[in-house]
Amino acid sequence: MITALPSPTDHRQDVCCQSISVAPPVDESRDFARKLKALSDPTRLQLLHLIAAHPGGSACICHLTEPLGVTQPTVSHHMRLLAESGFVTREQRGKWAFYTIRPGALKDLGEYLIDLSRLHG
Amino acid sequence: MITALPSPTDHRQDVCCQSISVAPPVDESRDFARKLKALSDPTRLQLLHLIAAHPGGSACICHLTEPLGVTQPTVSHHMRLLAESGFVTREQRGKWAFYTIRPGALKDLGEYLIDLSRLHG
DNA sequence: TCCTCGCATAGACGATCATCTATCAGACTC
DNA sequence: GAGTCTGATAGATGATCGTCTATGCGAGGA
């Protein structure tokens, strides 16, 4: 809803700009914010890079700890967050846990940001 | 560097997957993580939506407080974070502070995520 | 020059987070 | 079945975060 629409010839000083009261998409914002938060840590981004560099975008945890210089429980914690947010899937193969990138989740989030950059009224 | 390359006919049980020790881009990850963190809050996403809905992607703070149900200092705090991360620019017009979306910043981040989704080896 | 208005800053507080050490659970080997 | 290995979980701790109230500061208007 537009409550004020100052034109270039409007000399009133108590009007700053159009007031647009369109309610922002609260639930959607909350959902995307949660996903963005899951990616907002350098260790998790590096984990995704490492996994993505493996054939098929799939890697086992045992090869993710040493290159990052953090402990195994820390990697496990981060992988859980990434899995809960839908960026990877977990699969047990024998004694090893494999995590696989879900490209669609990253792509969807990227497109959300690009759409937001194009939203101009 | 690849240290183990089990083929489908490799029956050794103590090999789980290729170990790829390519050092992840630490500085780049830290930078993108900082930007993602700036967007990882529902209030900030709604602020960006609100500003983007204004003509020219530009709005003054006075119209951003009420629709979001938070106090003015809280909006000011969030806008500072968004400005420091490069997603908006600030401009003083008379007594009003205008914030303008920087579409390129959102677009770059979106493309980073889409590239990451395509990284598969 | 004082007053008002718009917005930033300061400081506090409770919640969340990233990381660690210690431990547990499940799967394989001998 | 005992021992080993992989990875998850529990709990603690220090840091960061989101929000608030109170206050300061600069720009206009009277």
CATH of the domain at A37: 1.10.10.10
Mean pLDDT of chain B: 86
A74 CB and strand C closer than 7 A = yes
- Quick one: pLDDT at residue A14? 54
- Quick one: pLDDT at residue A20? 75
- Quick one: pLDDT at residue A3? 34
Regions of chain A with pLDDT less than 70: 1-15, 21, 23, 121
Residue B26: which of A56, A39, A68, A25 has the closest Cα? A68
Q: What is the pLDDT of residues B10-23, one digit of tens each?
A: 333 456 777 777 76
Residue A8, domain member (yes or no): no
- Quick one: pLDDT at residue B121? 64
Residue A10, domain member (yes or no): no
Residue A34, domain member (yes or no): yes
Residue B59, domain member (yes or no): yes
Residue B96, domain member (yes or no): yes
Spell out where chain B has E strands. 58-60, 88-93, 96-101
Judge: B33–A40 Cβ closer than 8 Å, yes or no: yes
B52 CB and strand D closer than 7 A = no
Total domain count for chain B?
Answer: 1
Cα-based angle A30, A81, A29 (whole degrees, multiple of 5): 10
Domain that holds residue B102: 26-117
- Quick one: pLDDT at residue A23? 65
Residue A39, domain member (yes or no): yes
Regions of chain B with pLDDT less than 50: 1-13
Question: What DSSP state is assigned to residue B89?
Answer: E
Letter string b/e over residues B56-69, b meaning 16 or more CB atoms within 10 A of that residue's CB: ebbbbbebbbebbe
Q: How far apart are the first and last CA of chain A?
A: 13
Q: Give the nearest chain A residue to B37 (CA atoms).
A: A40
Q: Which two tokens stand for residue A13?
A: 């000083």
Residue B48: which of B111, B99, B92, B104 has the closest Cα? B99
- Quick one: pLDDT at residue A6? 36
Q: Which amino acid is at A18?
A: Q
CB B62 within 8 A of CB A16: yes
Residue B100, domain member (yes or no): yes
Query: Which residues of chain B from 70 to 89 reach within 8 Å of chain A, CB to CB?
Result: none
Residue A84, domain member (yes or no): yes
